[in-house]
Amino acid sequence: MSTTTSSSSSTSNPSAAGAEFAGRTAFVTGAASGIGLATARRLGAGGANVVIADYNAEGAGKAAADLKAEGVSAAAVEVDVTRPESVEAAVRFTVDTFGALDLAVNNAGIGGPSAPTGEYDVDAYHRVVRTNLDGVFHSMRYELPAMQAAGRGGAIVNVASILGSVGFAGSPAYVAAKHGVVGLTKTAAAEYAAQGIRINAVGPGFIDTPLLKSMDRAAYDGLVALHPAGRLGRAEEVAEVIAFLLSDRASFVHGSYHLVDGAYTAV
């Protein structure tokens, strides 16, 4: 699970993506590492200006510097998605820096502790929901007006999870938040489709990101066994689906929820 338009043509190979996002600006939360960074890199390879937004200001700065070294037009901004004023400032920074906002990927998220619902720490529950669900709402709350102001449509992808469609024992807060992200995505998509703004969601399975590095081998192998594909996903694989949803190749795709899960939810 993840704890994160404009184009005429493209390929699935980032190095051959050409300029499908040329002249567009993308705002990506939780982009200092993992799925967020892979997505920022993919969009930058397609010609987009990319803003790396993350709670980890140092990590965001390093990620932006790395992308610049790769020839990407990138900038970094610190953001706390649990605070609407922080998100508003980060979106304003994006518009001030690059002139407009066209694409957004709301990926910031946390995992939270593991415990049964009847024993779950109340403060931890609210912390997870504030980040994973409220953070997506706060992001769209300020991204959407910025896209409307630019007057050229736009596209948003919210990063939910496989746990936006199924349950997972011991993760009531995470599961509730990710189900909420899917519902919020569908609602906003219906509201803004006529204005040329497309809003969709992706549901990654367990992805081999830094969040899993601290797991012991037995637990890691247990996660792999849950995926009929026989492995965990790669952040770049999720980024490719996100890039598709942000591109004009997905011009009639509104309010959808795309699973990227190695058949986890198919059995």
* Residues forming the active site: 174
Q: Do the bridges between strand 103-106 and strand 154-159 make them parallel or antiparallel, or are there none, so unpaired?
A: parallel
| Residue 246 dihedral angles phi and psi, to the nearest 5° | -85, -15
Q: d(Cα 183, Cα 158) in Å, to the nearest integer?
A: 11
Strands lying side by side in the sheet with 25-29: 74-78, 49-54, 25-29, 103-106, 154-159, 197-204, 257-260
Q: Pseudo-torsion of CA 92, 93, 96, 98, nearest 10°?
A: -120
For residue 187, give every residue at least 6 positions away whose Cβ sits within 8 Å of its Cβ, in sequence order, or none. Answer: none
